């Protein structure tokens, strides 16, 4: 499954129609979630049937394509199924009980409700929302694929406009020549990655470098906000919404910079090695540290791992996630444990005298663990699918793990 993304061009009334379709999809998703809460033994197909009931009761829901209504119900069931899985696995802490959505940004169509033009440069939505024909702006060529291969189409609203995403069912594996190289990678804050060969990649810190501009834009937005209008439930001024959009666009630029950087580094690592070992970090728990949360979020470790696994699957390379316990404390030369604080950046072993950078020492330990793990469980350390390959539907926030730029 690959995802191609195009920017769509239309008129203001078409954009308003897309917003109405997104609101309707959010309404159906929340109604399905409430139906599951109020009734026992509700399954996935029960939610799909409930969509027809909502269409009969609410005329605006009937205007949305039936497949789009089912996609909204599937989103609700996805959150419910994730909650059930966490309960079965006895995940520590909160189990992720499904929540009602307040700010959805996309609506998803399956195999009906849309039609591509002859040259595949425009798409027409045929439901009663009035979206009509939208031009597709992008470098991808949809003529290469059969219409039956397009499994889902999603309209996404972002700060800089509206986008159409096409989920295409196609084999993504590419045969490459073996490099006969293996590497272990340690993710850090001083360096973005440090490998077992002694190479390091600097951390770009896109958010911190743009923080002054973000703070300035946020202050301008706040000055135009009226608490009295909010209390009276009156829409804020146009100047406020313009300032908020400028603030959103700056955040969007930072996120795109981080994503492209992670993609480039992951692609380079996969192309240079046949086996890549890395830490199975729980970033969700690590960002609870209020002293390091900003730096960890700015590093983009989860994004890098997702792209690493995707490129590993595409090019037939082995990617292994290993437990991170004591990889920074153990000596990679003699194996003895050498306790050190986070501020200690150099590993000095009192047992064998081995001296090395802390992150490089950890990457060597990660590689050793990866070589011992791969012989027992296969490509992935715990035998699971990579994070980008779970589920056929696109992500609820409009992002995709395997959106490739033309250069790749």
Q: Which of 356, 331, 337, 334 is nearest to 346 (CA)?
A: 356
**Domain residue spans in the chain?**
2-168, 182-207+251-389
pLDDT tens per residue, range 141-152: 888 888 888 889
Q: What is the mean pLDDT of the chain?
A: 85
The per-residue pLDDT for 400 is: 53
Residue with tokens 């269409």: 55
Confirm if 159 and 246 have CB atoms less than 8 A apart: no
Helix, strand, coil % over all residues of the chain, rounded to 5: 45, 20, 40
Q: What CATH fold (topology level) applies to the domain 182-207+251-389?
A: Nucleotidyltransferase; domain 5 (3.30.420)
Confirm if 283 and 256 have CB atoms less than 8 A apart: no
pLDDT tens per residue, range 159-184: 989 999 999 888 878 888 888 888 88
- Mean pLDDT for 192-217 is 90
Containing 6, the helix (H) or strand (E) segment is strand 2-9
pLDDT tens per residue, range 13-55: 999 999 999 999 999 999 999 999 999 888 889 999 999 999 9
Higher pLDDT, 397 or 268: 268
Helices 12-38 & 44-57 angle (0-180, nearest 10) = 120
Higher pLDDT, 387 or 105: 105
Token pair listed for 373? 């793990």
1-10, 124-133, 320-329: the lowest-pLDDT one? 320-329
Strands lying side by side in the sheet with 150-158:
106-109, 150-158, 161-168, 2-9, 132-137, 122-125, 114-116
The per-residue pLDDT for 356 is: 80
- Mean pLDDT for 103-115 is 90
Q: Which of 231, 215, 235 is nearest to 223 (CA)?
A: 215
């Amino acid at each position: 499954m690959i995802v191609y993304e195009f920017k769509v061009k239309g008129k203001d009334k078409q954009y308003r129609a897309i917003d109405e379709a997104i609101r309707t999809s959010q309404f159906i998703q929340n109604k399905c979630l409430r139906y599951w809460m109020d009734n026992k033994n509700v399954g996935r197909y029960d939610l799909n049937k409930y969509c027809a009931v909502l269409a009969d009761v609410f005329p605006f829901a009937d205007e949305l394509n039936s497949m789009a209504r089912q996609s909204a119900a599937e989103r609700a069931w996805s959150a419910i199924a994730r909650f059930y899985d966490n309960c079965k696995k006895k995940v520590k802490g909160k189990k992720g009980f499904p929540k009602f959505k307040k700010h959805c940004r996309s609506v998803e169509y399956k195999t009906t409700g849309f039609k591509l033009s002859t040259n595949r440069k425009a798409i027409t939505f045929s439901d009663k929302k009035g979206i009509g024909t939208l031009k597709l702006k992008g470098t991808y060529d949809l003529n290469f694929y059969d219409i039956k291969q397009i499994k889902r189409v999603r309209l996404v609203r972002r700060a800089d406009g509206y986008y159409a995403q096409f989920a295409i069912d196609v084999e993504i594996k590419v045969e490459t020549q073996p490099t006969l190289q293996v590497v272990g990678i340690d993710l850090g804050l001083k360096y973005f990655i440090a490998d077992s060969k002694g190479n390091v990649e600097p951390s770009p810190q896109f958010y911190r470098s743009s923080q002054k501009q973000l703070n300035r834009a946020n202050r301008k937005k706040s000055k135009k906000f009226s608490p009295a209008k909010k209390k009276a439930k009156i829409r804020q001024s146009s100047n406020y919404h313009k300032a908020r959009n400028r603030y959103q666009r700056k955040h969007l630029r930072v996120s795109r910079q981080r994503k492209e950087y992670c993609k480039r580094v992951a692609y380079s690592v996969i192309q240079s090695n046949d086996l890549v070992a890395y830490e199975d970090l729980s970033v969700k728990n690590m960002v609870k540290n209020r002293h390091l949360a900003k730096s960890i979020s700015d590093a983009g470790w989860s994004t890098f791992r997702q792209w690493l696994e995707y490129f590993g699957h595409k090019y037939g390379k082995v990617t292994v996630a290993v437990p991170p316990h004591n990889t920074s404390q153990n000596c990679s030369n003699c194996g003895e444990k050498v306790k050190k604080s986070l501020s200690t950046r150099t590993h000095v072993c009192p047992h064998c005298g081995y001296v090395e950078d802390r992150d490089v020492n950890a990457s060597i330990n990660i590689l050793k663990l990866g070589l011992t793990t791969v012989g027992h469980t296969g490509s992935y350390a715990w035998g699971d699918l990579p994070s980008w390959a779970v589920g056929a539907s696109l992500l609820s926030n409009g992002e995709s793990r395997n959106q490739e730029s033309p250069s790749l």
